[in-house]
Amino acid sequence: MTTLLNIQRPPVFCPGCSHERVVRTLDDALQRLGLNGEQIVIVTDIGCAGLFDTFFNTHAFHGLHGRALTYATGLKMADPELTVITIMGDGGLGIGGAHVLSSCRRNLDINLLILNNFNYGMTGGQCSVTTPVEAWTSSGFLNQLEPPLDICRIGKAAGAPWVGRLMATDRELSSRIQEAVVYRGFSMIDIWGMCPGRFGKRNKISLKQIEQEMSLLPEAEGRVSANERLEFGGHYRSLAAQLQCADPVGRIDCKFSPPVSSRCDILLLGAAGQRINTAGEILCLSAMSAGMHVTQKSDYPITVLRGHSVSEVVLSRSPVGYTGIIKPNIVIALSAEGVARRKKVFSLLDEDSLVIMADNLEIPKNNARTIEIDFKALGVPSSEWALVSLSMLAADGFPITEEMLQAGLASRFADR
Q: Return residues touching other proteins (CB under 8 A).
A: 9, 37-38, 41, 43, 53-54, 57-64, 67, 69-79, 81-82, 98-99, 101-102, 236-237, 239-240, 243-246, 249-254, 281, 284-285, 287-288, 291-299, 320-324, 326
- Amino acid, res. 77: M
Of residues 170 and 312, the one with the C-beta less far from other proteins? 312
Residue 149 · residue 130 · CB < 8 Å: yes
Output b/e per residue, 293-311; b: 16+ Cβ within 10 A.
Answer: bbbbeeebeeeeeeebbbb
Contact partners, residue 185, CB within 8 Å, separation at least 6? 107, 108, 109, 161, 162, 228, 229, 231, 232
Of residues 133 and 239, the one with the C-beta less far from other proteins? 239
Q: What are phi and psi of 368, to 5 degrees?
A: -75, 155
Q: Angle, to 10 degrees, between the axis of helix 232-241 and the axis of helix 68-78?
A: 40
Q: Of all helices (H) and strands (E), which one includes residue 164? A: strand 162-167
Q: Shortest Cβ distance from residue 371 to other proteins (Å)? A: 27
Output the CA torsion 125→128→132→136 (10° steps).
Answer: 20
Of residues 17 and 72, the one with the C-beta less far from other proteins? 72
Of residues 37 and 273, the one with the C-beta less far from other proteins? 37
**162-167 vs 187-192, strand pairing mode:** parallel
Contact partners, residue 315, CB within 8 Å, separation at least 6? 260, 263, 264, 266, 283, 284, 287, 292, 293, 294, 399, 400
Q: Shortest Cβ distance from residue 94 to other proteins (Å)? A: 14
Q: Shortest Cβ distance from residue 209 to other proteins (Å)? A: 34
Q: Shortest Cβ distance from residue 297 to other proteins (Å)? A: 5
Of residues 72 and 129, the one with the C-beta less far from other proteins? 72
Q: Shortest Cβ distance from residue 347 to other proteins (Å)? A: 17
Q: Which 3 state secondary structure label does DSSP give 3?
A: coil
How far does Cα 192 stand from its chain's mean position? Answer: 33
Taking the C-alpha atoms of residue 381 and residue 334, their distance in angstroms, rounded to an integer, is 12
Of residues 127 and 158, the one with the C-beta less far from other proteins? 158
- Amino acid, res. 260: V
Nearest to 73 by CA among 41, 35, 93, 103: 103
Of residues 239 and 395, the one with the C-beta less far from other proteins? 239
Q: Shortest Cβ distance from residue 359 to other proteins (Å)? A: 31
Q: Shortest Cβ distance from residue 293 to other proteins (Å)? A: 5
Q: Shortest Cβ distance from residue 351 to other proteins (Å)? A: 21
Of residues 220 and 288, the one with the C-beta less far from other proteins? 288
